Amino acid sequence: MLAGFLSPCIAPLRVYTHFYDRYNLPCRQYPPRLTLLHDGRPGYWLPPFCFPSAYPNKKSRPRCRRLSIYFGLPASFFAHFLRTRTRQAATLNNIGRIYSAIGDQARAESIYLQSVILHRERNNRHGAAMTLSNLAAVRLGRGDTAKALEAYQEALDTLKAIGDQTGVADLLNNLGAIYSDLGRYDQATDYYEQSLILKEALGNKQGASVTLNNIGIIQTNQLRYADAKVSFDKALRIKQEMGDVDGQSTTLSNLGTMYARQGMRNEAIEAYIKAITATESVLQTLRVEELKSSFAGQESDVYAQLVELLWMNGDFDLAFAYSERARARSFLDQLGNQPITAQQGSTSELIKQEQILRRQIRELQRALVAERARDTAQQNSQVIASTAEALEQTRNQHEQLLTQLKLANPEYAAQVSVSTVDLSQVQQNVIDEKTTLIEYFVLDNVGLAWVIDRDRAQVVQLNITRENLTGRVRYLNDSILARDFDGDAAAELYQSLFAPLKPYIRHTNLIVVPHSVLHYL
């Protein structure tokens, strides 16, 4: 009887065992008794988020707990298998999300299809629609746009049939984003406008601002700059009212690109600086569960666009300053998923306080955005005022604490905030009188190199595109790995990257700071 109860567990257990074996993720072994389920193979603890934590009903709890004690597994594991196939479908959907997150899109697609079948067997149309939406995103990532559109359309029809207006609005936005990427702007605009009407009717300010931002991008691509500015301004105003700093950064960067395309450099520079200031003030990005378009894509590109505009304007010192901030931001982003522990010592209490304040800021940001996202009639003005005041006070406390940490523990402070030096500080405090510093910065259509010593700094234009440079660096690395070094290719890179700098190099002691693909040389 026990074997009959556990038989549905075997397949999912094998899925997870394969998952952990293949990707070598951290895991903990089951007690030896459970290895019988795997024909002698060791099993693993399963990620708790893979299974719903609630029990199917009160009567099943003792049974789940008894099995939990016997096998040494979480009770929620067995609770899952007492549920209907609808719950199994939900679990498959979660497994698909895991595979998608680690880049195994083929397996994610297969798992999602199984989940859709189970949802349909139970006539769970909402669950099927949500999984179809995930399936569409995976297909889109694999470049199968036609099948992605098919899945999105099927999900949209299902949500319309069951009257889920919120889901319909989000899917309309996502369909608009796909058609926008395809350059089919009329169809994209139609979907976006339908989405915007629904979101405004539902009082979904957050979603409305995202769709307005996306409409502004299409209008910019169609050279309808006046209309685009209206759309971006509306989106920005909503984001400001909601206190959504991350959303403000995205829209400001899009405004900057709109100005740049018109040749309005000063306006573009101002918008980009505001976008970067907003980006650097966000301690943790708030995610929007729908496709949010951006000209820039990633924040690092906003820095690059700003550096290029400043260089074109002849503001070389400020261009250098933002190139340094771009490096610092990139470094912090790479550290972003790594836990930072409070070390023992005199500053350990300060570090703990900083981490507590950082969490409080994140929670207050979310609370403020959530309250302001409500329909105006449903908003609680007292809650908004008190939350905004608490957020401002907590931010001030955090800034003061960071100032203390920069003095007491500069290494830790550097890991949680963007802090750089300007050109004059580099000349005075970083290099000595016998050293020349060379800093590269790779842009899409040109490369820049700062040649700096104690009393002179020169920025040199390198006539090489990012795409060309990437191909040449990759080829050279491949030839080295194949033990077939191509000296001519190396010499050509020298002529492109170093020869133009020689007239400005006055010392034999060199410090070279690479950027982007140059890190692989």
Does 264 fall in a domain? yes
CATH number at residue 438: 3.30.420
**Total structural domains within the chain:** 3
Does 134 fall in a domain? no
Q: Do both 355 and 285 map to the same domain? A: no
Does 180 fall in a domain? no
Q: Do both 317 and 218 map to the same domain? A: yes
Query: d(Cα 253, Cα 232) in Å, to the nearest integer?
Result: 10
Does 99 fall in a domain? no
Does 295 fall in a domain? yes
Q: Which DSSP string corresponds to 304-329?
A: HHHHHHHHHTT-HHHHHHHHHHHHHH
Q: Do both 294 and 208 map to the same domain? A: yes
Q: Do both 446 and 470 map to the same domain? A: yes
Does 238 fall in a domain? yes
| pLDDT tens for each residue of 258-292 | 999 999 999 999 999 999 988 877 644 333 334 44
Does 48 fall in a domain? no
Q: Do both 298 and 239 map to the same domain? A: yes
Q: Do both 359 and 297 map to the same domain? A: no
| pLDDT tens for each residue of 297-353 | 444 489 999 999 999 999 999 999 999 888 877 665 554 444 445 454 556 777 778
Strand 447-453, strand 456-462: pairing: antiparallel
Residue 470: which domain range? 423-520
The segments of the chain whose pLDDT lies below 50 read 1-61, 63-73, 75, 78-79, 81-82, 283-300, 335-340, 342, 344
Contacts of 13 (CB under 8 A, 6+ apart): 37, 38, 43, 46
Q: Do both 411 and 466 map to the same domain? A: no
Q: Do both 356 and 283 map to the same domain? A: no
Q: Do both 240 and 358 map to the same domain? A: no
Which of helix, strand or coil describes residue 417? coil
CATH number at residue 268: 1.25.40.10
Q: Do both 484 and 505 map to the same domain? A: yes
Query: d(Cα 86, Cα 92) in Å, to the nearest integer?
Result: 10
- pTM of the predicted model, to two decimals? 0.68
Start-end of H helices in 163-298: 165-181, 185-202, 205-221, 225-242, 245-261, 265-281
Strand 447-453, strand 509-513: pairing: unpaired
Question: Mean pLDDT for the chain?
Answer: 77
Q: What is the pLDDT of residue 368?
A: 76
| pLDDT tens for each residue of 214-261 | 999 999 999 999 999 999 999 999 998 888 888 899 999 999 999 999
